[in-house]
């Protein structure tokens, strides 16, 4: 028997209770606090931690007056969270089926897809009487991918970046949606016949957080114009904060064309004739590699149909 097979056999000793104990220790910062949270005793928690470490073959905490996490702990916690979330999801789905309800699908969306694409897909599912129950969360990309990594989401709908093309993820591009510059309706540049990037550089900018793909695309576009990237007046990934600031100032911001059209329809903001030269990926959907559930397959098809119908005028 080789070493990898022996290690696999030892890990079979792990039970869900072990994973719950491990997460409780990490969350509460110690064995005594974890024991209180789990209505157990400190010796029992200590014994279960020892069983976990023996099964894994590595020490997760260094012992001393206070336990200290080792380099192995973060990786194990990631898998523990995923396993427990998958188990809870299974339990919820079985209860729903027993009660005659449909399967639950947890969907994360970004602003650019939350205003039309996803609502159209949901309405398409409703017309099919699919019985799929949906939980929808809207967030920026970083927040959605963090939830996805913890198995709190089954599907992400939004702009695809490098995370959508990892081996553990399946993804599908649906359409392109380039970015443009937006301003409040009273902004001086809105009435200007010709607007250049040099003109825009003179005004305060609301920028996405440093290091994000969109921020790099904005900086690269300015550099291509032989201009220094703008210093942020404020760094913000909140659409509603950005909208409030743009309506009350001479600030500028970058949003997708679909979001700009939505703001213009609300008569809230105006788009300027400035488009990023370097964009940040297509609009699409990403889900965990492996067998897709019937509910997920229905939603993927609904999103494909909604994307194909994007060219239709919206109902008044």
Decide if 35 contacts 42 (C-beta within 8 A).
yes
Pick the CATH number of 179-275 from 3.40.190.290, 3.40.50.80, 3.40.50.720, 3.50.50.60: 3.40.190.290
The residue among 211, 212, 268 whose CA lies nearest residue 239 is 268
Rounded Cα distance between 297 and 200, Å, is 44
Q: What CATH code is assigned to 102-175+282-308?
A: 3.40.190.10
Q: Would you write out the chain's pLDDT as a tens digit for each of its 316 residues?
A: 566 666 667 778 888 899 899 999 999 988 999 999 999 999 999 999 999 998 888 999 998 888 899 999 999 998 888 888 888 877 777 776 676 556 789 999 998 898 899 999 999 988 876 778 899 999 989 899 999 988 889 999 999 999 999 999 999 999 999 999 999 999 999 999 999 999 999 999 999 999 888 999 999 999 999 999 999 999 998 999 999 999 999 999 999 998 999 899 999 999 999 999 887 889 999 999 987 888 899 999 999 999 998 855 443 3
- Which one, of 177, 195, 179, lies nearest residue 187 by Cα? 195
Q: Which CATH number does the domain 3-80 belong to among 1.10.10.10, 3.40.50.300, 2.60.40.420, 1.10.630.10?
A: 1.10.10.10
Distances (CA, A) of 253 to 65, 202, 217, 279: 52, 13, 13, 15
Three-state secondary-structure class, residue 279: coil
Half-sphere exposure (CA, 13 Å, Cβ side) for 175?
17
DSSP-derived 3-state class of residue 69: strand
Cβ proximity of 51 and 18 under 8 Å: yes
**What are the domain boundaries of the chain?**
3-80, 102-175+282-308, 179-275
**Domain 3-80 and domain 102-175+282-308 have a common topology:** no
Helix segments in the chain, DSSP class H: 3-11, 16-28, 31-37, 42-56, 73-98, 111-114, 117-127, 141-149, 197-201, 213-224, 239-247, 257-265, 294-308
Nearest Cα to Cα of residue 282 among 205, 183, 171, 204:
171
């Amino acid at each position: 028997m080789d070493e990898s097979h022996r290690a696999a056999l030892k890990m079979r000793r792990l039970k869900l209770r072990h994973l719950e104990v491990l997460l409780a220790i990490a969350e509460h910062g110690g064995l005594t606090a974890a024991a209180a949270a789990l209505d157990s005793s400190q010796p029992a928690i200590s014994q279960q931690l020892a069983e976990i470490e023996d099964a894994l073959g590595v020490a997760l905490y260094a012992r001393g007056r206070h336990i200290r996490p080792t380099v192995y702990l973060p990786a194990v916690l990631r898998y523990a969270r995923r396993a427990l979330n998958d188990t809870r999801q299974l339990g919820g789905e079985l209860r729903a089926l027993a009660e005659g309800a449909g399967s639950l699908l947890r969907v994360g969306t970004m602003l650019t897809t939350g205003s039309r694409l996803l609502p159209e897909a949901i309405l398409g599912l409703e017309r099919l009487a699919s019985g799929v129950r949906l939980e929808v969360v809207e967030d920026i990309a970083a927040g959605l991918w963090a939830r996805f990594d913890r198995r709190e989401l089954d599907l992400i709908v939004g702009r695809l970046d490098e995370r959508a093309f990892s081996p553990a993820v399946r993804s599908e591009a649906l359409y392109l949606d380039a970015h443009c510059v937006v301003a409040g309706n009273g902004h001086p540049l809105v009435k200007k016949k010709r607007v250049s990037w040099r003109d825009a550089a003179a005004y305060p900018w609301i920028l996405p957080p440093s290091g994000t793909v969109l921020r790099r695309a904005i900086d690269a576009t300015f550099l291509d114009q032989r201009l220094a990237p703008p210093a942020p007046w404020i760094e913000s990934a909140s659409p509603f904060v950005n909208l409030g600031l743009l309506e009350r100032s001479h600030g500028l911001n970058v949003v997708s064309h679909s979001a700009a059209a939505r703001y213009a329809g609300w008569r809230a903001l105006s788009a300027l004739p400035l488009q990023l030269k370097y964009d940040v990926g297509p609009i699409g959907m990403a889900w965990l590699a492996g067998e897709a559930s019937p509910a997920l397959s229905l939603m993927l098809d609904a999103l494909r149909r909604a994307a194909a119908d994007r060219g239709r005028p919206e109902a008044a």
